[in-house]
């Protein structure tokens, strides 16, 4: 036989690799681990998270009680830092001395205060007299002094 030269050799395409799996068959513990990972991913998919600026809302499904749970989180640290800057800025009066800046309160705090008063989270459904009474008591206490943007009592 004569010797042949491979001058016109063209390499063939390799088969595509299987993503995330390098073996054709898995052992028992690997297949069980894969099943638990799928279950964990399906539990995670039952949550819906929406982030709007400083507010984070998480809607999740409670399978035991068959209810939808809403969890609200608000990052108020930037809000409090801004209030501290305003507190140290000036006395809080406008240039014409007609208006005075008193406080800047996150809406979540208002809904918590409304819930403490009547069990409803709607702050704006409360009468104005009740709102002013709650604001005076809360803002004059030392617990909520970082909501104030100017010195003085209400």
Checking if the pLDDT of 62 tops 80, the result is no
d(CA 118, CA 127): 11
Task: Report the pLDDT value the prediction gives residue 2, as an integer from 0 to 100.
Answer: 66
Same domain as 58, residue 80:
no
Higher pLDDT, 129 or 29: 129
Judgement on whether residues 51 and 33 belong to the same structural domain of the protein: yes
> Of 57, 72, 87, which residue is a domain's last?
72
In a domain, 12, yes or no: no
Tokens of 46: 């039952």
Query: Which tokens belong to 142?
Result: 């030392």
Please state the domain count of the chain: 2
Q: What integer pLDDT is reported at residue 23 of this predicted model?
A: 67
- Higher per-residue pLDDT: 70 or 139: 139
Residues 54-81 have a mean pLDDT of: 80
Residue 122 forms part of a structural domain: yes
φ and ψ at 103, to 5 degrees?
-155, 160
Residues 126 and 63 in one domain: no
pLDDT in tens, 1-59: 667 776 777 778 887 776 666 666 777 887 777 777 666 655 545 677 777 777 788 88
Q: Residue 21: its pLDDT value, please?
A: 62
Residue 9, in any domain of the structure: no
| Longest alpha-carbon distance in the chain | 110
pLDDT at 43: 54
14/118 Cα distance (integer angstroms) = 71
Are 36 and 86 found together in one domain? no
Using alpha carbons only, how large is the chain's radius of gyration in Å?
31
* Residue labelled with tokens 């008063």: 117
Mean pLDDT computed over 120-132: 88
In this structure, the answer to whether residues 65 and 109 fall within a common structural domain is no
**pLDDT > 70? residue 68:** yes
Domain extent for 102: 76-147
Q: pLDDT > 90: what percent of the chain?
A: 3
């Amino acid at each position: 036989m004569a010797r042949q030269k491979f001058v016109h050799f063209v390499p063939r395409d390799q088969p595509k690799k299987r993503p995330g799996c390098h073996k054709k068959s898995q052992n028992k513990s690997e297949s069980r681990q894969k099943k638990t990972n799928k279950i964990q991913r399906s539990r995670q998919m039952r949550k819906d998270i929406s982030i709007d600026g400083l507010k984070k809302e998480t809607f999740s499904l409670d399978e035991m009680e068959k209810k939808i749970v809403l969890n609200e989180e608000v990052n108020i640290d930037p809000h409090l830092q801004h209030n501290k800057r305003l507190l140290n800025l000036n006395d809080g009066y406008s240039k014409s001395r007609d208006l005075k800046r008193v406080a800047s309160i996150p809406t979540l705090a208002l809904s918590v205060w409304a819930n403490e008063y009547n069990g409803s989270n709607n702050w704006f459904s409360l009468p104005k007299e009740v709102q002013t009474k709650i604001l005076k008591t809360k803002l004059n206490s030392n617990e909520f002094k970082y909501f104030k943007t100017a010195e003085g009592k209400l």
